[in-house]
Chain A
Amino acid sequence: MNGILNFISRIGQLDRRWIFLIIALVVLIPLFFPLGLPIRATESTRLVWETVENLEPESKVLLSLEYGPSTKPELHPMVFALVRHLLKNDHKIYMTCLWPDGQFMAEDLIEKVIELEFPDKSYGEDYVLLGFRPGGEAVIKGIVSNIRKLYTVDARNLSVDEIPMMEAVNQFKDFDFLFSASAGFPGTVEWVQYASDPTGVPMSTGTTSIQVNEVMPYVQGGQVKGILAGMPGAAEYEALIGVPGIGTSGMDAQSIAHVVIVLFIIFGNVAYFVERKKAKKY
């Protein structure tokens, strides 16, 4: 018994660099040898999918990208999946960015998904990148009151008046649906407060995992129609539209890493109690 306790105690004093190495390995190995663990959509992911599915054809969808390279692995896969779904159902996509890096993400999205997989869709008629405007919530207020005052030109410096799909789009109420892909401030919370709640235009969101707790009350209260929660949310959405992507391929690593972290937490706690017991004894 003493031997086991000593072993646990020694494990508790393990150099943290070994833990980093183990985590790196358990993330890396499933990327090389995928296990194909099943992915089941949660209610909140399914709600996003159903909301998009129930939109009338050729609906005007405002897609706001509020993230950059630092959170790309979590949000980019879900935006890819959502855009595939929207374009498959023939909706019009208007892209705005509240973060400057969001514009790069949008350009990457256009290059890798829209132009490659939907060559029949044309810029200005089926999708448009309005681009980044600084100002945080003031930009949202601007879009709500008069989008044309804020965006006189798009990200490609084309006059908004000359873009066919911008016809009859003057304010936020002219959109049928909003999807906010958000990694923080300004993002989903601000869209709820200044755009969706005051105007009644339905919105869904995809956020980084760390933001889920903050946004979930809006989802449960019905103010936001579903949430894609981090990389698992993206993987679930990919499963729902039947197009596996980057989100799906990362889920094995994610699941195994979680199991290992849980084991570390249990070991850490047991080691702590063993140490405490020892300290009391002597």
Chain B
Amino acid sequence: MSGEILGAWIAVFLTLAIFSYLYKDNAFYKIAEHIFVGISAGYWTSMFFWTQIQPNLFGRLWPSKQYDADSFWYGIYDALSWINTSIFPAGGIDKGHEMHLIYLLPFALGIMMLLSVFDKLSWFARWGIAYTVGMAAGLRAYGYLNSNVIAQVRNSTLNFSDPDLPFFALIGNSYFNSILLLVGTISGLLYFYFSKEQKGVFGKVARVGIYFLMVSFGASFGFAVMGRISLLIGRFVDLITYNDAYYHHATIWVLILMVLALGYSAFKEKGSPKPS
């Protein structure tokens, strides 16, 4: 219970510390920023190790199912187990895997990536990066082509043979909406065609494309504002919750202390001579 209250006080302090940046850059903001970066890095590293590297990599290299204390391979494991039993528990790793020595390959590539910290061996990292880039490019090429190009073209095709299609509809399919989509797509694409000077009829069509892009940017801006306000509401709801007597009025106390500290700092700053 006391842990929950302490957690609330920390959450209030960090929230108000980040908000204090709206007044100006200050020590509270810097503290919150550094804590965030440090904890994020530590958390991600730990999470990745314990959810992927330990169970899915080491778990496939030394599974408990095929544990043989006399074999050379498990001899290496036992040596590692002697160093750290939480990563390499005695008797092999029990995560339901069979042994797959092919996983030595990603293991080696991973170690090669880490070698980038040494200047003389940094070239090893290129192999790992090359594999990652190649794999990601191949994986994404199909997905984009299928879902973003072919499916989008197919789904936006105007079906003139459909007698039920209305001429105009605010939402859903209609002749008007489909034509608008067609004009927007073509003019938008033409705006990004730079091999011909944008003047005359071509320039006018490209200009229509700009208007469509502006509408799109406007919609994006509107959604961005909506998202940010939602996040602000979320923080305010938490601050209101943590101001409850159960949490010893954490919000109001932290706010008062922070305002006093910032006020004192501003007062001192005002009194001190400006750096030349």
| A residues with CB within 8 A of B | 17, 20, 23-24, 27-28, 31-32, 43, 70-74, 100, 131-135, 137-138, 141, 152-153, 159-161, 190, 192-194, 197-198, 208-213, 217-218, 220-223, 229-232, 246, 249-250, 253-254, 257-258, 261
Contacts and interface: CB of A to CB of B under 8 A. Distances in A.
Interface stretch (B140-148, B203-211, B263-271): B140-148
B173 to A, nearest CB: 9
Contacts of A258: 225-226, 229
B230 A73 contact: yes
A221 B238 CA distance: 38
B223 A137 contact: no
Interface of B: 22-23, 43-44, 47-48, 51-52, 55-56, 59, 95-97, 135-136, 139-140, 143-144, 146-148, 151-152, 154-156, 171-172, 216, 219-220, 223-227, 229-237, 240
B223 A213 contact: yes
9 contacts: A31-B236, A32-B240, A70-B231, A138-B139, A141-B139, A194-B139, A209-B223, A230-B226, A231-B230
A135 B60 CA distance: 17
Given A73-B234, A209-B230, A134 B51 contact: yes
A220 B225 CA distance: 23
Contacts of A28: 236
A100 B151 contact: no
B227 A74 contact: yes
Contacts of A217: 152
Nearest to B173: A220
B176 to A, nearest CB: 14
* Pairs A-B, 7 closest by C-beta atoms: A73-B234, A193-B143, A221-B155, A152-B96, A209-B227, A231-B230, A100-B47
Given A223-B155, A230-B223, A132 B231 contact: no
Chain A contact residues: helix, strand, loop or mixed: helix
B99 to A, nearest CB: 14
A21 B115 CA distance: 50
A211 B143 CA distance: 19
B233 A210 contact: no
B227 A210 contact: yes
A134 B110 CA distance: 14
Given A17-B22, A254-B233, A257-B229, A213 B219 contact: yes
Nearest to A32: B240
Contacts of B231: 70-71, 73-74
B154 to A, nearest CB: 8
A190 B146 CA distance: 12
A100 B51 CA distance: 9
A74 B51 contact: no
B147 A223 contact: yes
Given A141-B139, A160-B96, A212 B223 contact: yes
A43 B171 contact: yes
A155 B228 CA distance: 31
Nearest to A19: B22
B147 A192 contact: yes
Given A153-B95, A160-B96, A134 B224 contact: no
Given A72-B234, A159-B96, A253-B233, A208 B227 contact: yes
Given A137-B136, A193-B144, A253-B229, 17 more contacts: A27-B232, A31-B240, A71-B231, A73-B237, A100-B48, A134-B48, A137-B139, A152-B95, A152-B96, A197-B146, A208-B227, A209-B227, A210-B227, A213-B216, A230-B226, A246-B237, A258-B226
Contacts of B154: 221
Contacts of A160: 96
Given A27-B233, A197-B146, A250-B237, A132 B96 contact: no
A80 B188 CA distance: 39
Contacts of B139: 137-138, 141, 194
